[in-house]
């Protein structure tokens, strides 16, 4: 029996044993996993850069982190920003109804 506080106690194998799984893979499987990860990351970056080009904004999507913009925007809201030169800058007041 191994005590929980003993030095060198082994934890049971779990799904988070990444390095053990990597050691079991052959080279082809490892290359496939690395390529798959690289494709996911590059796809996300291409979508982000595409949104920058389409919207003309350096940050096309932002998240409201505080309640300072309430009642118009609440914490956690996603805002899609655009910076089109043809559109004039305007302020719109949104009326909200309290239930």
pLDDT digits (tens, 9 = 90+) for 41-87: 999 999 999 999 988 888 888 888 988 888 888 888 888 888 877 76
Could you tell me if residue 57 is inside a domain? yes
> How far is CA 83 from each of CA 3, 65, 88, 90, 91, rounded to the nearest angstrom?
62, 21, 10, 12, 14
State residue 99's pLDDT score.
45
Q: Does residue 48 fall inside a structural domain?
A: yes
- Tell me whether residue 53 is in a domain: yes
User: Quick one: pLDDT band at residue 93, thresholds 50, 70, 90?
Assistant: low
pTM tops 0.85, yes or no: no
Q: Is residue 86 part of a domain?
A: no
- Whether residue 70 is contained in a domain is answered as yes
Residue 90 lies in a domain: no
**Both tokens of residue 22?**
């990597």
Domain housing 36: 27-80
Q: Residue 64 falls within a domain, yes or no?
A: yes
Domain count within the chain: 1
**4 belongs to a structural domain:** no
């Amino acid at each position: 029996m191994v005590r929980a506080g003993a030095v060198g106690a082994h934890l049971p194998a779990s799904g988070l044993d990444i390095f053990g799984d990597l050691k079991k893979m052959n080279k082809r499987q490892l290359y496939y996993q690395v390529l798959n990860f690289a494709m996911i990351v590059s796809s996300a970056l291409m979508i982000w850069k595409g949104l920058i080009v389409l919207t003309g904004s350096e940050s096309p999507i932002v998240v409201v982190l505080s309640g300072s913009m309430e009642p118009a925007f609440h914490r956690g809201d996603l805002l899609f920003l655009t910076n089109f030169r043809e559109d004039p800058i305007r302020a719109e007041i949104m009326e909200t109804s309290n239930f």
